[in-house]
Structure 1
Amino acid sequence: MHSGNGTSKKRRRGSRIFRLKTFCDPGHPVHFKAGSSFQENVSSLLEFGNQEESLHGPATRCWSFQLEVHRNPPSSVLLFVVEEMVEKSHPLRCQHCSFIGWGHHMICRKRFHFLLPSKNAFLRSNEHNCKVSGKSPLVAMRESRLMEVQGLLMHGVVHSNGFGHLLCVNGIEAGSEILSGCQIVELWDRICKGLELRKVSLMDTARKGAMDLRLIHGVAYGEPWFGLWGYRFDRGGYGVTLQMYQRSVDALRRLPLCFLLPHYGSSRPELAFIITKYQAMASHSLVTLGHLLQFMLDLKGRLLPDAFAAMDYRRITMEPACRWSTRRLEMAAQVIVDALRRANFRWVSRQDVREAARAYVGDTGLLDFVLKSLGNQVVGNYVVRRMVNPATKILQYCLEDVSGEMATVSGPKPPGGDPRSERVVRLQTTRVQLKKDLFSLYKYVLMDQNPAPATGVFAAVPVAVKTILDTKLLVKDYWKDPALESKVGGEDRSIKLLCTVHPSIGAGGEGRRQALPPYELLTLPGHATIGNLKMAVERTFRDMYLGLTTFAAKKVVDVDAEDSELVFGKIETGSRLVISGTVDRGAVGREGTYEGCDRAVDCRCGVKEEDGERMVGCDICGVWQHTRCAGRADGEGLLAFFICGQCQHDIALLPSFLP
């Protein structure tokens, strides 16, 4: 009877709907214990998930969480958490660890994948299955092989030691139906904070249309787009250092606009117009390229989308806040359009439109509702445009004639506006036009696609751009040492210690010693002995790492004590301890111990480790180097035979055997 109640409670938990905006905040759905490990926290979280029986296999288990995006109209997404047993998977190693410099980490026994698929991605993957069986998209989601679905909105993977990688983020422009890239990264960031991860890496290849976001955002704000969430430079590709990256960003940000005008005046006159236009629109002076791009990106965030559609009155009447008939909505919308038409296509403030319409419609609630619904909507032969004035921050409306008679929306000074707002409104721009202007600056200034030869300061622009584009590997450090306070006195006193192991491969303990795994927090009762400490360390590290399944703890380094002695009194709470021990040589082969492989890297750019860029191995000495450094373009096919420069030099020095 008791068991039945527990099962029912778990079923109710799994069917809950969680809010996307608060998921993994404290108490949503669980309060994580301070100082708990990632494995403990993720286990607590998965108790609230819906276990997906159909996705069980020899190497994975899966849970799902339904996350509410909007309540009205209702919309939600499914977050899947897949637990992967690494020993039964292929490949064992994680290439992302090698790219970011974590190749010295031991292979963990488990990996957790956090997947946010789009409905369209599932439909594409299961189109035939859905047509034959008539299954809904939700059922198709749950019966798909998640790891094989193309078009994921988010994919993050976390090793059981708390180190993870954000592998992809795809917002609206990449196919997301309702979630923006910012919303997806914010969700991932809350998950990482709530589960107390250590470090998370990513390869920044995000693009905004045809532009590399790390370049355009770096020049505008001095940091990559992911820097908004605390991701920082960790290592650059092709030997780029932090100093090289910062100097490149600063050089482009400080490029004076007064230099650009004469340089592009004859070859690209449209650039001069773009610069002067936005300088006139700004309420403050725009002196450098960084100032200009930052103003344009900020302005783009305040402009409404340019797409428009016919006013759908029937859909509007279905909204819970609507209490008016279709006929009354149509009448109010026509009154508002007539009031705007009498303004001769000028931009008019919301208050002025409302007051003009009140002469014909006395129901102010109806007017407010329709004004809220209007915005890039077609009413009759007109598009009702709506935007916030960048200078006055006042919501304004105007009409655009789409009947075939081209009406100009030049926008003079709105009533009551100051001279500065008049200057801004006369130079109004649309989001589409602003995107075109941004791309022009990106293409001709940053990417240097112009016929004029690069001289003076402009000769350094391609070098700086290349350095920024070669900087893709970013890391965020989430780890904070837990507050290790001893609870002295009483029956609940405990000792908290940060422990790691120093294994030696071979039963005799004479094998080759390797890098230490990250420290793990262990909590022991006040009466624990040194022997109990060793057993706890063995249990923790055997469960976590594939190469330590046979680890036997021998000695606490720098602590002279017998197994029967109490930890309390010998070791202070909060101490960092190294426990040496042995691992059976035959238990796990060397190829299954560490994330990094034994590939030798020695490139002419100075790189000695893999960095995620394309590489090729010498067919004589086996040393790997970048294909780009070897003179091979990234878009070209693989080399059938490659000899590195050193081997070519050695071959040239060989004596000739010809007579």
Structure 2
Amino acid sequence: MVKKFRNRRDHAATQNFSSFPSEEVSAKFTGPFRTNINEFITQFAPIVSNPRIGINLVSKPGFLKCKIPFNVSLRNEEHVDINMYILEKSPANSNSPLCRDCQVVGWSKHPVCKKRYHFIIPNHQPTISKKRSRKETREEDTKHLLHGLIHSNGYGHLVRINGIQGGSKNLSGSEIVSFWDRLCKLLRVRQISVMDVSKKYGVAYRSLHAITKGFPWYGLWGYDFGKGGFNVTKDEYRKAIDIISGKPMSYFFSLFSRCSSSERSRLLNVISFYRDFSDKKLSTVRDLFCVVLDLIHKAKKRDSREEEEDEEESPLSSNNFTEKDKRTVEATILKIFMLVDECRSIKYQDLKKALYRTASPDIIDYCLKRLKQTVLEDGSVVASLYNDDTHSIEFRRCRDQSEFKLIDKRPSLKNLIRDLKFLFDSILDPNTMDERIDTVDYATRILDCKVFIKDYGNQRTHYINVEEDAEKLRICCNLEHSCKTKNLYLKPQPPSELLVLHNTATIRDLKLAALNAFQNVYIALKGLRIESLVDHEYINDSVHVRLFLGNNATVTVTGKCPVNYGGLSKFIMEGGKMNWIVDCFCGVKDDDGEKMIACDSCNVWKHTRCLSLDDDQIFDSPIKFVCPTCDSTNNTRSILTSV
């Protein structure tokens, strides 16, 4: 399709990435997403065209390509340019019309929308090359800095972001998500889902952030629990976070103190080191990981030669101890070091044990953590250092200040990340943690929760934060209808649509507006016929909406929609015709995105993990599978037979 565009700009004004869109601009977009997106493209994103002949470069039907240039300010006061492309595609012209993300999130009963809008920021500098331009907007490219998808009904998915960890040179993940969030607010989307499978420091970040902060990383922008895999509920997810994050450190010492395993003794050594090293009191698992992440953050700033933040005041306040108590402990410490050779190191724990009769453990910790650079009677200096082999803090006498400066008690960034990964594998990863730890099931639940959703609240009229227009009526319209095909009688569930009517509109105008809204959004509703208003079937069409319903009201209309003609039956629902059954032992009744296998006898799908099946064996070679329910000879296990 070659289409001419007249009176359209070929070049859009460059926007500031860190502030676009502004609140002033967002306030002008007061309609639903289906109308806001068209206004947005018209105002900010001219169609990518050939300036010589003025035609759209895209040749595929149902495809439109636009771009918005942005300017990114760097810390060194330099600037770089990036482009965001908007691809408008029609599922009716696609070989894969159904949205896999909608099926996993739980929106499989939504009818297939007429249009999908892809928002893509490629991971490289803008180019004028036509071949490069086509490659940089491929949806399947995993290197995009941003890839968001929004259906014309306002529901969408944050498909991918790649910040510094993902190869971005100039934009962090936080900056990209903040931009995406502002854009979604401007367009007044309804809900956005994200599949959080990100890794940071080599670990699953959704688990690490949940333990340290109490919510996933995307929760910083309002994303909350959406749908758990293996039938994990929101309450179970919250309970798992609370139990693991509140697990006391004393539990691990009592569990592994008598064990001779080198790996288990290493776990206790690493925990002891950070407990002794930190000025904060480490009581729980959350405290432990917060301290390690804080040290990693400071080590990064130190390595990049940035000014370090002032350390937080220690919770072991000196106000809790008398000056006499502190002087007694400090004097004892100095006597011990005067008896120690200069070449000998003393472990933190050994020194603490030697002092346990002089004062309480809190006073001893307070004094030991302030022992750095203490000058003894003979002029030597006490230095503290990190022993990489024993994962512990040690003290040593230095001859003078010059030797003291050569010793750095802070572990390196490499060692900190190594310890973080080791602690994660030992305490939070159910696949590698010790089976005797009683939180394995809870750690599994946290990892099984990958889908998070942000509800922008724009599907209901009273959530739209705009001044009431005296000449406009805003009505939230629901649709009750059924789609009858040759073999199936399906009842899709389209979300409500916001109708903006004139204040003199009648019931007839409302029905017509509802018909246009649902037909313009969904492919399968092309033949929709609106019949009546629920609970108001006999209301006259000439009655004014303002007098009968008022403003900001909610109404439900009924309708019928034959889909036998034109091949529209395949667009009835995002989940397809739903002629397959999911019934797993974990309680799942729908597709949750996890690996499943169908029984060759009853055709019911179940999770491979719930059946204790090896995924490599299943997907690498053809097999015949019979579930325990259908196997009459052995109801306790599944039967796999090679084909």
TM-score normalised per structure 2: 0.74
Match of 1:41 among 32, 36, 57: 36
Aligned to 2:631: 648
CA contact (8 A) 2:430 2:444 kept: no
1:194: Cα distance to partner?
1.6
- The answer on whether the counterparts of 1:302 and 1:390 sit within 8 Å (CA) in structure 2 is no
2:638 is aligned to none
Residues 497-526 of structure 1: CA deviation (Å, up to 9, x unaligned): 11122224369xxx9572442121212223
SS in 1 for 2:207: helix
Distance 1:391 1:651 in 2: 62
Equivalent residue letter for 1:177: K
| Residue 247 of structure 1: aligned partner | 239
In structure 1, what is the equivalent of residue 23 of structure 2?
26
Partner of 1:593: 572
1:566 Cα deviation after fit: 2.8
Against the structure 1 CA distance between its residues 224 and 519, is the aligned structure 2 distance closer, same or farther, given a 3 Å change threshold?
same
Asked if 1 retains the 8 angstrom alpha-carbon contact of 2:484 and 2:490, the reply is no
Deviations 1:449-479 (A, max 9, x none): 889x644xx2x22222111111111111111
Correspondence for 2:311: 390
Worse-matched range after superposition: 141-150 or 567-576? 141-150
Please tell me the root mean square deviation across aligned C-alpha atoms, in Å. Answer: 3.3
Measured in 1, the distance between the counterparts of 2:124 and 2:308 equals 32
Q: Which amino acid counterpart does residue 23 of structure 1 have in structure 2?
A: F
Q: For 2:87, what is the secondary structure of its paired residue?
A: strand
**What is the aligned counterpart of 2:94 among 89, 98, 108?**
89
The question of 1:205 aligning with 2:200 is answered no
**Matched residue type, 1:527:** T
- Code of the aligned partner of 1:293: F
Residue equivalent to 1:614: 595
2:499 to 499, 502, 522: 522
Cα deviation, 1:330-374, whole Å, max 9, x if unaligned, reads xxxxxxxxxxxxxxxxxxxxxxxxxxxxxxxxxxxxxxxxxxxxx
Instruction: Note closer, same or farther for the CA distance 1:419–1:484 as it changes in structure 2 (3 Å cut).
Output: closer
Task: In structure 1, list runs of 5 or more residues that go unmatched.
Answer: 1-5, 123-134, 309-374, 377-385, 394-417, 653-659
Counterpart in 2 of 1:185? 177
Do structure 1's residue 108 and structure 2's residue 113 form an aligned pair? Answer: yes
Cα separation, 2, equivalents of 1:174 and 1:85: 30
- Structure 2 portions without partners, runs of 5+: 1-5, 50-56, 315-366, 374-382, 385-408, 636-643
Contact 1:220 1:253 in 2 (8 A): yes
If the length of structure 1 is used for normalisation, what is the TM-score? Answer: 0.72
Residues 239 and 423 (structure 1), Cα distance of their counterparts in 2 relative to 1, 3 Å cut:
farther
Q: Confirm or deny: 8 A CA contact 2:480 2:558 kept in the other structure.
A: yes
Letter in 2 for 1:147: E
Q: Which residue of 2 aligns with 1:17?
A: 14
How far off its partner does 1:231 sit? 1.4
The size of the alignment, in residue pairs, is: 522
Q: Does the C-alpha gap of structure 1 residues 428 and 144 become closer, same or farther in structure 2, counting only changes over 3 Å?
A: closer
Corresponding residue of 1:466: 444
Report the equivalent of 1:442.
424
Q: For the residues of structure 2 that align with 1:75 and 1:494, how far apart are their CA atoms?
A: 43
Deviations, residues 172-206 of structure 1 (Å, cap 9, x unaligned): 22222222222222122112222111111121111
| Distance (whole Å) between structure 2 residues aligned to residue 641 and residue 419 of structure 1 | 66
Q: Secondary structure at the match of 1:603?
A: coil
Q: Tell me the residue number matched to 1:576.
A: 554
Alignment identity in percent? 28
Q: In 1, are the aligned partners of 2:461 and 2:476 still within 8 Å (CA)? A: no
Offset at residue 306 of structure 1 (A): 6.9
In the TM superposition, 1:481-560 aligns within 5 A as 481-483=460-462, 493-505=471-483, 512=489, 514-559=491-536, 560=538
In structure 1, what is the Cα distance between the partners aligned to 2:140 and 2:252?
48
Whether the aligned pair in 2 keeps the contact of 1:392 and 1:421 (CA below 8 Å) is no
Query: Distance in 2 between the 1:151 and 1:421 partners?
Result: 47
SS of corresponding position for 1:50:
coil
Map Cα deviations across residues 365-415 of structure 1 (whole Å, 9 max, x no partner).
xxxxxxxxxx38xxxxxxxxx64453489xxxxxxxxxxxxxxxxxxxxxx
Q: Output the amino acid matched with 1:603.
A: C
Once residues 302 and 282 of structure 1 are traced to their aligned partners in structure 2, the CA distance between those partners, rounded to angstroms, is: 13
Q: State the match for 1:151 in structure 2.
A: 143
Aligned partner of 1:58 in structure 2 is: 61
What amino acid does structure 2 have at the position aligned with 1:91? S
Q: Residues 442 and 575 (structure 1 numbering): CA distance in 2 closer, same or farther, change over 3 Å?
A: same
Cα distance in 2 between the residues matched to 1:227 and 1:301: 20
Contact 1:499 1:521 survives alignment (8 Å): yes
C-alpha contact 1:66 1:79 (8 A) present in aligned 2: yes
Residues 256 and 289, structure 1, Cα contact 8 Å, conserved in 2: yes
In terms of mean alpha carbon deviation, does 74-83 or 639-648 score higher? Answer: 639-648
CA drift of 1:444 comes to 2.3
